[in-house]
Amino acid sequence: MSTMSMTASKLLAKMSSGEISSEEITSACLNEISRRDASINAFLSVQQEAALEKAREVDQKRKAGKPLGKLAGIPIALKDNICTEGVNTTCASKMLEHFVPPYDAHIVERLKAADAVLIGKTNQDEFAMGSSTENSAFKTTTNPWNNTCAAGGSSGGSAAAVAAGFAPLALGSDTGGSIRQPASFCGVVGLKPTYGRVSRYGLIAFASSLDQIGPFARDVTDAALIMETIAGKDHRDTTSLDAAVPEFTSKLEQPLENLKVGYVEHLQEEGLHEEVKEATLRALDVYKSLGAELVPIELPHAKYCVATYYIIAPSEASSNLARYDGVHYGYRAKDFENMIDMYAASRGEAFGDEVKRRIMLGTYALSSGYYDAYYLKALKVRRLIRNDFEQAFQSVDIIASPVTPTPAFTIGELVDDPLAMYLADIFTTSANLSGIPGISIPAGFSQNNLPIGLQLLAPPLEEERLLRAARMFERETEWHLKHPK
């Protein structure tokens, strides 16, 4: 097995036994990036010198027998909407093309304290709005399994980086599926934690009541490992939860007893790809073979998730993105007539089509005369959607479903049809609307050799249960061991 396909836990073990150094691992990642990222486009920037310097520092600390952080010497890629002090953070937008944050995001402080090696910033849909990274102002990430296919989005660069062997771990953000969907498309593990589990301080805001940071990893153990570092209360994000953070890796190998797996019968049959459906049914069989009970459940409002999401998320976005005014930071137009015109020209020139579309939709939904019919209505349906989950979790421990209706679509296939692109979020938005944790794990391949993911959902703050259930499946299967050529 080459270094490039090893998990972070394996690399940590090899570093502590002296078989390999962080500098060797980091150099190997950097070499792969310079050799192959021109065709994959996972990264918007690579911090080569800083990464190597940190790696050498960790190696020296290790040699000297000094205490080391939990992720000591492990290269990690960060989505480019996560603020890194002194390192360009663009959100894949012309608006922030030259933005250099004056501070670190909370999770970046945590990763630095854990001695992780921050290797680069990954491509995404502009302001995390999209499902394919095609909305990036700079480049489109290709799927490491097939370069004509999308890597997914919005955290497509982070998913592709882990799948392609550029970094064993990456972080992304998930507002309506932006971690789970690209993880599914690229055949890696992607976890969206409970809303509030990970501080959003320093995450460039898209839709604040839905945004959540989470990891991409090559297996469930690594996802559990990095969660131990990034989860926990931070007073700078008032929505971050004051709940104890379990040592997620400690019970990971213990199967859950009397596990009840809920599933929805005839869930969104229309538009559901046959191979995705088969993979989901096969996954349910795996749980059954492990002694779990399969329980059919009802989520009567599931079909309203996308409509609800595409009112709430754009509404919040229209408010959050009002800060880009060409005054304090970001792009300012050259030609304008007055102050108001400067705002409009700067925003009109620097935002891409999808961002404009969402700002327009959100402004429309919040505008006088439409507020009750759209925004308020959506907030009410949001409660109905969450009530469905509360009801379901009274009789099951986790819920299993597809992540996406199809395997990775072709680049360009949906880009001109926003509604069709939105409808691909049918299985993922409900977790964000309800605030519950969700994970995508590798669960099969299509005939065209494209990965297919399985989504598992758990009640709020039950990441430990979610990860253990995911690990049960992973132990029985080998999908996560496959790597693109």
Partner 1 sequence: MSTQLPEDDVLKVASLSRLKLSETEVNALGKQMGSVLKYIAMLDELDTESIEPMAHAIEISNVFREDQLQESLPRDKALSNAPQTDGNYFLVPAIL
Q: Which of residues 255-284 bind partner 1 (CB under 8 A)?
A: none
CA–CA separation, 4 vs 484, rounded Å?
Answer: 11
CB of 282 to partner 1, least distance (A): 31
User: Which residues are CB-contacts of 109 (< 8 A; sequence separation ≥ 6)?
Assistant: none
Residue number, 69 or 418, with CB nearest to partner 1? 418
Residue number, 121 or 347, with CB nearest to partner 1? 347
CB of 404 to partner 1, least distance (A): 18
292-321 residues in contact with partner 1 (CB under 8 A) are 301, 303-304, 306-308, 310-311, 318
Q: Does 66 bind partner 1 (CB under 8 A)?
A: no
Contacts by residues 344-347 (CB-CB < 8 Å, ≥ 24 positions apart): 347/95
200-219 residues in contact with partner 1 (CB under 8 A) are 209-210
Residue number, 5 or 363, with CB nearest to partner 1? 363
Q: Does 390 bind partner 1 (CB under 8 A)?
A: no
Residue type at position 438 = G
Residue number, 115 or 211, with CB nearest to partner 1? 211
Residue type at position 459 = P
Q: Does 84 bind partner 1 (CB under 8 A)?
A: no
CA–CA separation, 39 vs 34, rounded Å?
Answer: 10
Binding string, residues 397-436; x marks residues near partner 1 by CB under 8 A = ---------------------xx--x---------xxxx-
Indicate which single residue of 27, 45, 260, 329 sits in contact with partner 1 (rule: CB under 8 A): 329
Indicate which single residue of 381, 392, 408, 472 sits in contact with partner 1 (rule: CB under 8 A): 381
The first and second tokens of residue 383, run together, are 């409660």
CA–CA separation, 485 vs 481, rounded Å?
Answer: 13
Residue number, 166 or 351, with CB nearest to partner 1? 351
- Give burial (CB, 10 Å; 0-12/13-18/19+) of 326: buried
450-469 residues in contact with partner 1 (CB under 8 A) are 460
Give the three-class secondary structure for 148.
strand
Residue number, 142 or 199, with CB nearest to partner 1? 199
Q: Please give, one letter per residue, the 3-state secondary structure of 303-324.
A: HHHHHHHHHHHHHHHHHHHHHC
CB of 443 to partner 1, least distance (A): 26
Q: Does 52 bind partner 1 (CB under 8 A)?
A: no
The answer to whether the beta carbons of residues 72 and 58 sit under 8 Å apart is yes
Q: Does 356 bind partner 1 (CB under 8 A)?
A: yes
CB of 212 to partner 1, least distance (A): 9
110-169 residues in contact with partner 1 (CB under 8 A) are none
The first and second tokens of residue 250, run together, are 């400690």
CB of 453 to partner 1, least distance (A): 22
Give the three-class secondary structure for 423.
helix
CB of 386 to partner 1, least distance (A): 6
What is the end-to-end Cα distance of the chain in Å, rounded?
13
Q: Which stretch binds partner 1 (CB under 8 A): 37-45, 373-381, 406-414, 463-471?
A: 373-381
CA–CA separation, 226 vs 171, rounded Å?
Answer: 9
Indicate which single residue of 241, 398, 443, 470 sits in contact with partner 1 (rule: CB under 8 A): 241
CA–CA separation, 162 vs 149, rounded Å?
Answer: 16
CB of 364 to partner 1, least distance (A): 5
User: Which residues are CB-contacts of 428 (< 8 A; sequence separation ≥ 6)?
Assistant: 174, 176, 177, 180, 181, 403, 404, 438, 455
CB of 456 to partner 1, least distance (A): 18
174-193 residues in contact with partner 1 (CB under 8 A) are none
Q: Supply the residues annotated as catalytic.
A: 79, 154, 178
**DSSP tag of 179:** T
Query: Phi and psi (nearest 5°) for 335?
Result: -110, 125
Residue number, 22 or 212, with CB nearest to partner 1? 212
Indicate which single residue of 10, 68, 342, 483 sits in contact with partner 1 (rule: CB under 8 A): 342
Which helix or strand (DSSP H or E) is residue 29 part of?
Answer: helix 22-40
Q: Does 330 bind partner 1 (CB under 8 A)?
A: yes
Residue type at position 332 = R
Q: Does 380 bind partner 1 (CB under 8 A)?
A: yes
